[in-house]
Amino acid sequence: MANDANTVFDLVILGGGSGGYAAALRAAQLGLDVALIEKDKLGGTCLHRGCIPTKALLHAGEVADTAREGSEFGVMTSLQGIDMAGVNKYKDGVVSRLYKGLQGLVSSRKITYVTGEGRLSSPTSVDVNGQRYTGRHVLLATGSVPKSLPGLAIDGDRVISSDHALVMDRVPKSAVVLGGGVIGVEFASAWKSFGVDVTIVEALPHLVPVEDENSSKLLERAFRKRGINFSLGSRFSGVEYTDSGVKVSLENGKTFEAELLLVAVGRGPVSQGLGYEEAGVAMDRGYVLVDEYMQTNVPTISAVGDLVPTLQLAHVGFGEGILVAERLAGLKPVPIDYDGVPRVTYCNPEVASVGITEAKAKEVYGADKVVTYKYNLGGNGKSQILKTAGEIKLVQVKDGAVVGVHMVGDRMGEQVGEAQLIYNWEALPAEVAQLIHAHPTQNEAMGEAHLALAGKPLHAHD
Ligand SMILES: Cc1cc2nc3c(=O)[nH]c(=O)nc-3n(C[C@H](O)[C@H](O)[C@H](O)COP(=O)(O)OP(=O)(O)OC[C@H]3O[C@@H](n4cnc5c(N)ncnc54)[C@H](O)[C@@H]3O)c2cc1C
């Protein structure tokens, strides 16, 4: 086993987030000698500042909503308040258990784990802590950090990023969230559940703008009902500090005052000053460019995760990392179909999708070749029991496969697994309709939607 800096490793990985550690685990499993270099904490953004802590906050918010709304179910509950110290203890407990588990996994696979800030020193080596780690191959997986807008300084107090929002020790009275993408709407949703007066500002015409427009509209309706304010279609123009917080101005002249401003306008790659350009790696606006096998233009260097211009999702990082490990081990992995990657926004209600939108399908196949069907959760028993509203929308190529599944409603994220199989196996509506779905589940709505698209609706009008 390689355990010192003089060894030539099969693979040296820079960055121990979702992409880097998945590559390390799979490569080691396949018998490769791996060094994994991480400057902060194994697990990266997803585990410490992303997926896991945000979902814990959202779950705490769901508990708060349940307490607040108990009487709607005949259960006499009330919400006494949010103890942020308690919420943080719960959230941090989840993170630290997973962190321990991941550390154990990495050490059990005999991966050489190096703590320190690394820099690519040649196409086959990374320097860290004054030592050189040389590999037959190097994987760049340095991830991303929150971005801001030109002239908008994040001070960590009144103007914050998601990193700050996750470690707050108080519930703000009010907040403006700049950006109506996944991260923005998730924080807006959790904060509203905690009782915060929230306003989202999105420059594009819709919330979650990369989703099918139908999903955006359903989410906007649900947020309106929840009392989450939003302003669409006008860009941010400036922020001033006031006695009690901030005053945010938009180009259309509107202003919003709040205790704080959360900047959630996206994330940018971590690649500056790390030796990538010097080693000849082709880049575009800080992103490392790769082919469909995640290989850069330098044959000994690959890159994965948020550092490359693919979907910024943890499971995409996992998939890309595994692909690199398998390729280096001599297996023949197939390139990733990014349309087939499930996407979930865990706000209340959830938004989930796989495949392409109706608009994209019309572009690709022609407007007259695209058929859609929307199944309203109003007809689904379990959704009624949960008191949730929403839809499952299917996009089908006429007489062909389902190429898009777009869902809005509580717990719809859990339905994306079947939707993923439908899209990736190019299922015909009639084939899915043949499968019996359990009653009463929300999953049944997936079956009902396909029954209808196959021309034999059950709990839906013809
Ligand atoms: C608030 C929020 C919520 C999110 N929620 C979800 C979600 O629900 N589902 C989902 O799929 N995705 C979610 N994401 C996205 C997900 O977290 C990222 O896509 C994922 O973490 C990317 O993995 P990565 O390995 O590319 O980068 P990262 O996780 O950022 O890891 C990169 C690692 O490299 C290390 N590093 C950087 N430079 C160096 C260096 N020079 N030397 C050594 N180490 C270095 C960093 O310390 C870091 O640990 C969320 C992100 C955020 C911010």
Q: What are phi and psi of 375, to 5 degrees?
A: -100, 120
- Of ligand 1's listed atoms, the one at least distance from the Cα of 146 is 53
Distance of CA 218 to the CA centre of its chain: 20
Residue 461 has a pLDDT of 80
Q: What is the pLDDT of residues 291-350, one digit of tens each?
A: 999 999 999 999 999 999 999 999 999 999 999 999 999 999 999 999 999 999 999 999
Q: What is the rounded distance in angstroms from the CA atom of residue 106 to the CA atom of residue 406?
A: 36
In this structure, the answer to whether residues 390 and 278 fall within a common structural domain is no
- Within-domain flag for 152: no
In this structure, the answer to whether residues 169 and 233 fall within a common structural domain is yes
In this structure, the answer to whether residues 286 and 138 fall within a common structural domain is yes
- Within-domain flag for 369: yes
Residue 127's CB is within 10 A of a number of other CB atoms, namely 18
Q: Taking a C-beta distance cutoff of 8 angstroms, is the pair 241, 259 a contact?
A: no
In this structure, the answer to whether residues 366 and 434 fall within a common structural domain is yes
Residue 61 has a pLDDT of 98
* Best CA proximity match to 393, nearest among 215, 217, 209: 215
In this structure, the answer to whether residues 172 and 99 fall within a common structural domain is no
- Within-domain flag for 141: yes
Residue 460 has a pLDDT of 86
Q: What is the pLDDT of residues 126-145, one digit of tens each?
A: 999 999 999 999 999 999 99
Identify whether 439 is a catalytic site residue.
Answer: yes
Residue 373 has a pLDDT of 97
In this structure, the answer to whether residues 169 and 303 fall within a common structural domain is no
Residue that terminates a domain, selected from 236, 265, 294? 265
In this structure, the answer to whether residues 28 and 95 fall within a common structural domain is yes
- Within-domain flag for 208: yes
In this structure, the answer to whether residues 137 and 177 fall within a common structural domain is no
Residue 110 has a pLDDT of 92
- Within-domain flag for 98: yes
- Of ligand 1's listed atoms, the one at least distance from the Cα of 20 is 25
Q: Taking a C-beta distance cutoff of 8 angstroms, is the pair 124, 300 a contact?
A: yes
Write out the residue range of the structural domain in which residue 59 sits: 5-145+269-328
| CATH code of the domain in which 187 resides | 3.50.50.60
| CATH code of the domain in which 436 resides | 3.30.390.30
Catalytic residue among 59, 164, 406, 439: 439
In this structure, the answer to whether residues 362 and 427 fall within a common structural domain is yes
29 CB contacts (<8 Å, ≥6 apart)?
A: 109, 325
In this structure, the answer to whether residues 169 and 67 fall within a common structural domain is no
Q: Could you tell me the distance, in angstroms and rounded to a whole number, from the CA of residue 151 to the centre of ligand 1? A: 25
Q: Is 202 in the pocket of ligand 1 (CB under 6 A)?
A: no
Q: Taking a C-beta distance cutoff of 8 angstroms, is the pair 371, 377 a contact?
A: no
Q: Ligand 1, residues 12, 25, 40, 51: which to mutate, most atoms within 8 A of Cβ?
A: 51
In this structure, the answer to whether residues 141 and 282 fall within a common structural domain is yes
In this structure, the answer to whether residues 140 and 48 fall within a common structural domain is yes
Domains contained in the chain, number = 3
Q: What is the pLDDT of residues 30-88, one digit of tens each?
A: 999 999 999 999 999 999 999 999 999 999 999 999 999 999 999 999 999 999 999 99
Q: Which 8-state DSSP code applies to residue 438?
A: P
* Best CA proximity match to 183, nearest among 196, 157, 165: 165
- Of ligand 1's listed atoms, the one at least distance from the Cα of 42 is 49
- Within-domain flag for 338: no
- Within-domain flag for 339: no
Q: Could you tell me the distance, in angstroms and rounded to a whole number, from the CA of residue 22 to the centre of ligand 1? A: 12
- Within-domain flag for 459: no
Q: What is the pLDDT of residues 185-241, one digit of tens each?
A: 999 999 999 999 999 999 999 999 999 999 999 999 999 999 999 999 999 999 999
Q: Is 23 in the pocket of ligand 1 (CB under 6 A)?
A: no
